[in-house]
Chains A and B, each alone.
Chain A
Amino acid sequence: MAVRLRLDGHTVAEASRRSGLSAPTVSAAWKAFREGGWEAVSVKPRGRRKGSGDALGAAQRRALRERLAELPPAPLPAWNSRALAETLKGKPASPRAIEHWWAAQGLTVPCRDLHDLEKRRSSAGRWFRQRVRPVRDVVNKAGGECWQGGVRVVPAAGDRPRCYQLYLHGKRGALHMRCLPVAPVADDYLTLFERLLVQAEAPIALLFHGAWFQASPEVQEWLAEHLEFHLINVPPATPDD
């Protein structure tokens, strides 16, 4: 496809954008074509491993993408696989099928293993013992919940455009997420925080990675008003981790 775009007179950059292939790939394909014609262009099916999300139809996948950009029904802070599965019309899908589809789309985020950090002598270990453990102990004592989460950019994959993913790991590491077309703003975060408080009806400790809340007056103000919400920023990765 990239080569055809180039034959149509598109630039590398344009062909790359339209085909969703990287510029070097387009360039290589074009070069191969000029030197050896179509046979020289290796046409391999991209990405998508066997069985990944095949259980879902195209319309269902489109619907899922749309859902992920929206707010889940209250008080859910973000979509989990069960809630998503329930929204699907037509052929019923299992939460497991949703998780497969997530994995295929590159949307699965592993949960940070806190037990492992307890005994680490690295700066991350120190951070955990000094910043996380005391807060967690306080929250647990008050019958609250400990969550982890973050925000990140997920590059485009297949027919899914690039997106900004808000993710949370709840009890037993259950993954919750929202996928937005633009970077989340203070409101998005605050909605998420508020729903966490509402669904728990107890204090919350949230270890969050990937947002620079220090620069957001809205978030700082909200945190000052909600002392039962303990936000702990995960520091940037350091080499001795």
Chain B
Amino acid sequence: MSHSSELIAEDIEQYLKAHEHKGLLRFITCGSVDDGKSTLIGRLLFESKLLFEDQLAAIEADSKKFGTQGSEIDFALLVDGLAAEREQGITIDVAYRFFSTDKRKFIVADTPGHEQYTRNMVTGASTADAAILMVDARHGILTQTRRHSFLMSLIGLRHVVVAVNKMDLVDYSQARFEEIVEEYHELARELGLGEITFIPMSALKGDNVIEHSSRMPWYHGTTLMGYLETVEVDDERLQRAPFRLPVQWVNRPNLDFRGFSGMVTSGVVRPGDAIRVQPSGKASTVKRIYTYDGDLDEAVAGQSITLLLEDEIDISRGDVISGVEQPAHTADQFETTLVWMHDKPLLPGRPYLMKLGTQVVSATVTAIKYQINVNTLEHAAAKQLELNGIGICTLGLDRAVAFDAYKESQDTGGFILIDRLTNNTVGAGMLHFALRRSQNIHMQHMDIDKQARALAKGQKPAVLWLTGLSGAGKSSVANLVEKKLHAAGQHTYLLDGDNVRHGLNRDLGFTDADRVENIRRVAEVAKLMADAGLIVLTAFISPFRSERQLARDLMGDEFIEIFVDTPLEVAEERDPKGLYKKARRGELKNFTGIDSPYEAPEDPELRVDTSRMSVEEAADMIMTTLRERGIIG
């Protein structure tokens, strides 16, 4: 199993060749020192011969001074840190250790089993392919076993080995082992843990660690090392998953080269593949997969690459490039599991920064649905999450992000929360699914509020939201209303396609996703202007009910929806910009009323039909409504 010294001595080149093709397995060990975890890791390090003589000598000296194993080497001393280190008060205590055999290189994340286990273990497990769960054969399944198992299920570890340790202290009893296996199976079912392997062993005596134990002839399964060397890493599952590349860096050394660099987090990509960029929704085709060592015919999950596309589309850091068959989802409201990692508790309503893949957005926990007790797995209501608390929470973002459910893809579904003031990483979370955009986001309280600002202008703010087909007359009506308001001494602003599409929203097209985003931004801008005390008029087709609902939710009472209701035939006949004709000829895609739906308002504050009244009449009608509502005098 270990490095074959003979081959090293006789044919080093042959040895190097063999070791070029080794795989990598990252695993975490869960359990306390009492379970023999340190002894086990120490033994693995020792047996893989990657210990140096001087290290060994130091440990032997330590064994005599501090060891608990008499004259034998105390393997635990190999991994337990120095006293000074323990006193340092490092916030996150995860030690990474390395060893390798002829088959694999291993990275062990070793977390202390005692205090702060939750944040330590979640941190260590987040990068692990597999987990070793230590169980003391004498004690069986304990509270901490449940706790560790729950955290493993939370983080989605797919390969778990339950090491039933200290079999030497129960006389290598098969009955005892099977009892524990049965008991654990029940727990695993409860938690929905997948593939589990049970190994009876003694880390101290070396039974079933590297070699099969003659003292447990009844056990025919694999040894621990055998397991670690052969357990499937998730390469295959990851490569079967849809292609995702969160863009880290746009590489543009000259005009002829425009590459999008990042790590493939799942799936496979080849030149010629159709891709979609999220959240913008733009599409293109892969032209080249560039690397320093030459172009690739194929790149798979886990590789850091640079993609070149056929089309010149605008892509920036934070975007996710997806395979076109199953692109990433986009949303700004989620249900998540949150693990709190900081002394200062999580407060719903407080904005944090969220890093998801390469995207950084502002995020607010809108509600804590319930908190989970890691020991009992019971649910309980909670107003805030304390350090090591785990809660099912809803999360609202300031803009939509591309994502996948965590259970589908860890790298596009796992995120961290960062405190805006201290810059600390305060929480880690896993996205489950997107929520409807219905909840309010709690905002920062400000001393000078909307009322104060409006008072200074001597008016009541409002948002007059004009919606209707292209050519319905929204802009003409809005324009006239603004003139009238201005004449009356009101402070106003008119938002329309012309001043928004060319500036704020010039990155957006006319796909459904882009239209949604277009309206969301307009709604946000209108809200800010209303906050500033203005009477805001918006003149957009705004075809979807859900986006108008979003705007209404943002504004509340000041939102006045005005349906500029003109039959399609009339609008099409007017066709002031000749767009309907183009759309009919198929030159214009996604044109509302032709090949993209218009969802008429169900209950607008006002309805004006410009096919039956003049622009002047319509404007007067709106002015009347404003007077009735007490917005203008």
Partners in one complex: yes
In the bound complex, do residue A12 and residue B71 qualify as a contact, i.e. CB atoms below 8 Å apart? no
Bound-state Cα–Cα, A12 to B73, Å: 12
Decide if A140 is an interface residue (CB 8 Å cutoff): no
**Please, what's the 1-or-0 string for B45-62, where 1 marks a CB less than 8 Å from any CB in chain A?**
000000001101100110
In the bound complex, do residue B64 and residue A13 qualify as a contact, i.e. CB atoms below 8 Å apart? no
* Number of chain A interface residues as a range: under 10
User: What chain A residues lie within 8 Å of B53 (beta carbons)?
Assistant: 12-13, 23-24, 27
Label chain B's interface by main secondary structure.
Answer: helix
Decide if A11 is an interface residue (CB 8 Å cutoff): yes
Chain B residue nearest to A10 (CB atoms) is B60
Bound-state Cα–Cα, A23 to B52, Å: 10
> In residues 14-40 of chain A, which contact B (Cβ within 8 Å)?
14, 23-24, 27
Decide if A239 is an interface residue (CB 8 Å cutoff): no
User: What chain B residues lie within 8 Å of A12 (beta carbons)?
Assistant: 53, 56-57, 60
> In residues 24-56 of chain B, which contact A (Cβ within 8 Å)?
53-54, 56
Chain B residue nearest to A13 (CB atoms) is B57
Bound-state Cα–Cα, A13 to B60, Å: 11
Contact of A9 among B54, B57, B64 (CB under 8 A): B64
Tell me which of B53, B56, B71 has the highest count of chain A C-beta atoms within 10 A of its own C-beta. B53
Chain A residue nearest to B72 (CB atoms) is A34
Tell me which of B54, B57, B71 has the highest count of chain A C-beta atoms within 10 A of its own C-beta. B57
Tell me which of B60, B61, B71 has the highest count of chain A C-beta atoms within 10 A of its own C-beta. B60
Bound-state Cα–Cα, A174 to B155, Å: 77
* Interface residue count on the B side (C-beta < 8 Å): 8
Bound-state Cα–Cα, A24 to B53, Å: 8
Bound-state Cα–Cα, A13 to B57, Å: 7
Bound-state Cα–Cα, A23 to B60, Å: 14
In the bound complex, do residue A13 and residue B54 qualify as a contact, i.e. CB atoms below 8 Å apart? yes
Bound-state Cα–Cα, A27 to B61, Å: 15
Bound-state Cα–Cα, A14 to B53, Å: 11
Bound-state Cα–Cα, A24 to B52, Å: 10
Chain A residue nearest to B47 (CB atoms) is A31
In the bound complex, do residue B57 and residue A11 qualify as a contact, i.e. CB atoms below 8 Å apart? yes
B390 to chain A, nearest CB (A): 45
A42 to chain B, nearest CB (A): 14
In the bound complex, do residue B71 and residue A9 qualify as a contact, i.e. CB atoms below 8 Å apart? yes
A30 to chain B, nearest CB (A): 10
User: What chain B residues lie within 8 Å of A14 (beta carbons)?
Assistant: 57
User: What chain A residues lie within 8 Å of B57 (beta carbons)?
Assistant: 11-14
Bound-state Cα–Cα, A24 to B49, Å: 11
Bound-state Cα–Cα, A73 to B56, Å: 49
Chain B residue nearest to A15 (CB atoms) is B57
**Please, what's the 1-or-0 string for A148-162, where 1 marks a CB less than 8 Å from any CB in chain B?**
000000000000000
User: What chain A residues lie within 8 Å of B56 (beta carbons)?
Assistant: 11-12, 27
User: What chain A residues lie within 8 Å of B64 (beta carbons)?
Assistant: 9
B4 to chain A, nearest CB (A): 13
B100 to chain A, nearest CB (A): 18
> In residues 53-84 of chain B, which contact A (Cβ within 8 Å)?
53-54, 56-57, 60-61, 64, 71
Bound-state Cα–Cα, A13 to B56, Å: 9
A40 to chain B, nearest CB (A): 15
**Please, what's the 1-or-0 string for B361-390, where 1 marks a CB less than 8 Å from any CB in chain A?**
000000000000000000000000000000
A33 to chain B, nearest CB (A): 13
Per CB-CB distance, the 5 closest pairs between chain A and chain B, nearest first, are A11-B57, A23-B53, A13-B57, A11-B60, A12-B57
List 16 additional A-B contacts (Cβ < 8 Å) besides A11-B60, A12-B57: A9-B64, A9-B71, A11-B56, A11-B57, A11-B61, A12-B53, A12-B56, A12-B60, A13-B53, A13-B54, A13-B57, A14-B57, A23-B53, A24-B53, A27-B53, A27-B56
18 contacts between A and B (CB under 8 A): A9-B64, A9-B71, A11-B56, A11-B57, A11-B60, A11-B61, A12-B53, A12-B56, A12-B57, A12-B60, A13-B53, A13-B54, A13-B57, A14-B57, A23-B53, A24-B53, A27-B53, A27-B56
